[in-house]
Amino acid sequence: MPTLVMKFGGTSVANLDRIRRAAKRVGVEVAKGYDVIVIVSAMSGKTNELVGWVNETSPLFDAREYDAVVSSGENVTAGLMALTLQEMNIPARSWQGWQVPLLTNSAHSQARIEEIPTDNINAKFGEGMKVAVVAGFQGLTPEGRIATLGRGGSDTTAVAFAAAFDAERCDIYTDVDGVYTTDPRICAKAKKLDRIAFEEMLELASLGAKVLQTRSVELAMRYKVKLRVLSSFEEQSDEAGTLVCDEDEIMESNVVAGVAYSRDEVQMTARSVADRPGIAAIIFGTLSDAGVNVDMIVQDISEDGRTNMTFSLPVDQVSRAEKAMGAIKGTEINYDDLVTDTEVAKVSVVGIGMRSQSGVAAKMFKVLSDEGINIKVITTSEIKISVLVDRKYMELAVQALHDAFELDKAA
Interface with ligand ASP (CB under 6 A)? 9-10, 41-42, 47, 73, 136-137, 151-155
Residues that bind ligand ADP (CB under 6 A): 9-12, 41, 152, 174-176, 179-180, 182-183, 185, 204, 209-211, 258
Are 70 and 51 contacting, i.e. CB atoms less than 8 angstroms apart? yes
Measure the CA–CA gap between 75 and 61, rounded to whole angstroms. 22
Relative orientation angle of helices 63-70 and 46-57, to the nearest 10 degrees? 150
Residue 196 near residue 228 (C-beta atoms within 8 A): no
Q: Name the binder of 399 from ligand ADP, ligand ASP, Mg ion, none, CB < 5-8 A by kind.
A: none
The Cα–Cα gap between 282 and 333 comes to 8
110 binds, among ligand ADP, Mg ion, ligand ASP, none (CB under 5 to 8 A by kind): none
Alpha-carbon span 159 to 157, nearest angstrom? 6
**Smallest distance from ligand ADP to CB 278, Å:** 40
The residue among 29 and 171 lying less far from ligand ADP, judged by its C-beta, is: 171
- Tell me whether the omega of the peptide bond preceding residue 101 falls within 30 degrees of 0, making it cis: yes
- For the CA atoms of 230, 234, 240, 242, the dihedral, rounded to the nearest 10 degrees, stands at -30
The rounded distance, in Å, linking the Cα atoms of 273 and 283 is 10
Nearer to ligand ASP, 42 or 349 (CB): 42
Minimum Å gap between C-beta 227 and ligand ASP is 15
Given the complex with ligand ASP, which of 152 and 258 has the nearer CB atom?
152
**Between 161 and 393, CB nearer to Mg ion:** 161
| CB of 125 vs ligand ADP, minimal distance in Å | 26
Q: Which does 47 bind (CB under 5 to 8 A by kind): Mg ion, ligand ADP, ligand ASP, none?
A: ligand ASP
182 binds, among Mg ion, ligand ASP, ligand ADP, none (CB under 5 to 8 A by kind): ligand ADP
Out of Mg ion, ligand ADP, ligand ASP, none, what residue 77 binds, judged by CB under 5 to 8 A for its kind, is: none
Residues 6+ apart with CB under 8 A from 8: 22, 38, 39, 40, 41, 81, 173, 232
